[in-house]
Structure 1
Amino acid sequence: MTRRLFVINPNAGKGRALRYWKLAEAELHKRQIVYDCFMTNAPGDAVGHLKNLAGFYDQVIAVGGDGTIHEVVNGIVQTGAKLGIIPAGTGNDFAQYLNLNGHFDPVRSVERILQNQSVPVDLVCMQEKVFINVAGMGFDAAVAADVNRSTFLKKMGSLGYVASVMRQLPGYRPGAAMIEIDGSKHHFEDAWLIAVGNGGVYGGGMKILPQADCRDGLLEVCVVSGISKLELLRVFPKVFSGSHVRHPAVKMFRGSEVRVISKANLRIHADGEIVTRVRDTEPEEFQTDEKFKILPKAIDLLV
């Protein structure tokens, strides 16, 4: 018998996750499926709970948004458990990237999960954690932090990210950065944002890395540099179709290991969650020094 655990974030998607879970639960009862569930109460709950149960469950299903998926992935990596998703968050960016069949219908999501069909997908290692979708540094991380701390912007869904871009842009200053990709160094004098990804969609539907493939064993990198605020505003809408990559200020790279160094203290998010940077006690020349490494076929995803 398959041992299943559903991890529900009741606050995800302005309460949508709880509503979706009730529909999913009714379908499970109808089918007489045996399962366990865990309701999170605070950030980090899912990771701690899952690590205490390492290896017990065959499937762990995240019911929530990208942040819930992020926690579940960090809780089950290297345990052999398969990852399932019932998208019920604000952006549902990873589900959009995967184009999950009926991914906004919890009953169809349950049907898909019960089929137990999975594919191995890559993860990305950063510091002591992993992420499954996209990490961003610079302006997009400032936007993510703004949305995360604003209940009003969260309630706006994808429009909240657009509103935050307009709110953050006037006061934001880009900084110099060096990006090393598989040993090849690239220097940028005024990097607005640096996105490193395994998936391709973030920020409520922005196709920042349109060529990303979470099964190819490679990271996709997008750097926006050398552009005025006015031109950035003009180019910004194109990110929703992925056509921003044709602009000369947008540089795309691919590799298995990425390092970002900057004298500026760049904010960073992973799967939309703001990451607390690990620092040594001694003063450092560079305020930002982050390493990203692809972990090929690190987790099985229920599709």
Structure 2
Amino acid sequence: MTSGDIAVLANPSAGRGRHRGLLPGVLQRLGAAGHAVQLLTASNSEEAEKACHRAVAGGAVALVAVGGDGTVHQALQAAADRAVGFGVIPAGTGNDFARCTGVPDEPLAAADAIRAALAEGREHRVDLAHSVGTDGEGRWFGAVLAAGFDAIVNERANRMRWPRGPRRYDLAILLELTRLRPRIYALEIDGVHHGFEGTLVAVGNCASYGGGMRIVPASDPADGLLDVVTAAPLSRVTVARLKPRLRHGTHVTDPRVRTFRCRQVRLHADGIIGYADGERLGPLPLEVTVRPGAIRLLR
């Protein structure tokens, strides 16, 4: 990587590969900014993050993630709190971070926006969330941390080999609904204890996860705050009825749902694995802090 290059992390399997053929055009559009474009190579997520760190340390003028929220999550680990431009080409199934931060939906239009931002020397400062687990390791995330029933479903789906695609998550939901039970949560928000028994906890820097489900609908990644949503014990029927309301964010009007705004969250419950940006963070407890303007978004 040469200083001043544009480094690109691309996931060709993102969005079930439907944007695979667009990558050459994306690279060409980015190159029109007058910088050399280097495509990072990696065979797994660990290698991808290391490649991003090397690119930023090598003086890349911009780090661009081509893929979905998982690819964005990997690239954020290198770009957060660093003097490097960050670009997103939405090519996944969800693209929640891109949608929430005003990135154009169409991949080539997003590439043109990044090129123009570099040429004009402009950037948008966007907040990120920073989480620390029991191992003391920090992880950045851009969209939402799931730490309730949704995280349990994610963990179940990741253990399943069949079926592939979205149906795996649908089956995981059905299987976990049969085991649905409330958990005892230790929850501290800006130093104030709000422990409760419940089914759902989500911490948002952005409003949505899972491809547009507005789990924390008031969340704004430019306000210097995190949004937290919790839900009291819910029955299987209630969970099924609330799910359609997530698309519009109207579930927060339910009296069993509580919302908070804060700068720091400490969260624990036995047997829960936290997921952020759809990626596995690790077991609770977790401490999450907002970092205002941590990323220099090019759009």
* Range of TM-score over shorter length: 0.7 to 0.9
Map of 2:99 onto structure 1: 96
Query: Which of 82, 87, 98 is the aligned partner of 1:84?
Result: 87
Please tell me whether residue 293 in structure 1 is matched to residue 289 in structure 2: yes
Cα–Cα, structure 1 residues 96 and 86, in superposed 2: closer, same or farther, change >3 Å? same
Cα–Cα, structure 1 residues 47 and 140, in superposed 2: closer, same or farther, change >3 Å? same
C-alpha distance in structure 1 between counterparts of 2:161 and 2:25, whole Å: 25
Cα offset for 1:2? 5.0
Map of 1:155 onto structure 2: 165
Per-residue deviation, residues 105-128 of structure 1 (Å, max 9, x unmatched):
222111111011421111111111
Map of 1:282 onto structure 2: none
Q: SS at 1:275's partner residue?
A: strand
Counterpart contact for 1:177–1:261, Cα < 8 Å = yes
Map of 2:8 onto structure 1: 6
For residues 228-239 of structure 1, what are the structure 2 equivalents within 5 Å? 228-239=235-246
Q: SS at 1:276's partner residue?
A: strand
Counterpart contact for 1:73–1:131, Cα < 8 Å = yes
Q: SS at 2:272's partner residue?
A: coil
For residues 225-264 of structure 1, what are the structure 2 equivalents within 5 Å? 225-262=232-269, 264=270
Per-residue deviation, residues 73-120 of structure 1 (Å, max 9, x unmatched):
00222331111000111211212223423x1x2221111110114211
Cα–Cα, structure 1 residues 203 and 28, in superposed 2: closer, same or farther, change >3 Å? closer
Counterpart contact for 2:27–2:37, Cα < 8 Å = no
Please tell me whether residue 112 in structure 1 is matched to residue 108 in structure 2: no
Map of 1:269 onto structure 2: 275
Instruction: Output the aligned Cα RMSD.
Output: 2.2
C-alpha distance in structure 1 between counterparts of 2:158 and 2:123, whole Å: 31
Cα–Cα, structure 1 residues 92 and 161, in superposed 2: closer, same or farther, change >3 Å? farther
Please tell me whether residue 72 in structure 1 is matched to residue 78 in structure 2: no
Cα offset for 1:178? 2.0
Between the two proteins, what is the percent identity of the paired residues?
32
Per-residue deviation, residues 146-166 of structure 1 (Å, max 9, x unmatched):
44455766633xx76455433
Unaligned runs of 5+ in 2: 133-137
Cα offset for 1:169? 1.4
C-alpha distance in structure 1 between counterparts of 2:36 and 2:44, whole Å: 26
Moved more, 13-22 or 2-11: 13-22
Map of 1:62 onto structure 2: 65
1:269 maps to amino acid: Y
Cα offset for 1:179? 1.0
Map of 1:184 onto structure 2: 192
Unaligned runs of 5+ in 1: 278-287
C-alpha distance in structure 2 between counterparts of 1:91 and 1:2, whole Å: 31
- When normalised by structure 1's length, the TM-score is 0.87
C-alpha distance in structure 1 between counterparts of 2:8 and 2:20, whole Å: 12
Counterpart contact for 2:101–2:221, Cα < 8 Å = no
Query: Which of 121, 129, 140 is the aligned partner of 1:124?
Result: 129
Cα offset for 1:254? 0.7
Map of 2:216 onto structure 1: 209
Counterpart contact for 2:128–2:292, Cα < 8 Å = yes
Cα–Cα, structure 1 residues 137 and 203, in superposed 2: closer, same or farther, change >3 Å? same
What is the aligned length?
A: 287
Per-residue deviation, residues 37-72 of structure 1 (Å, max 9, x unmatched):
113311222211122233411111000110100010
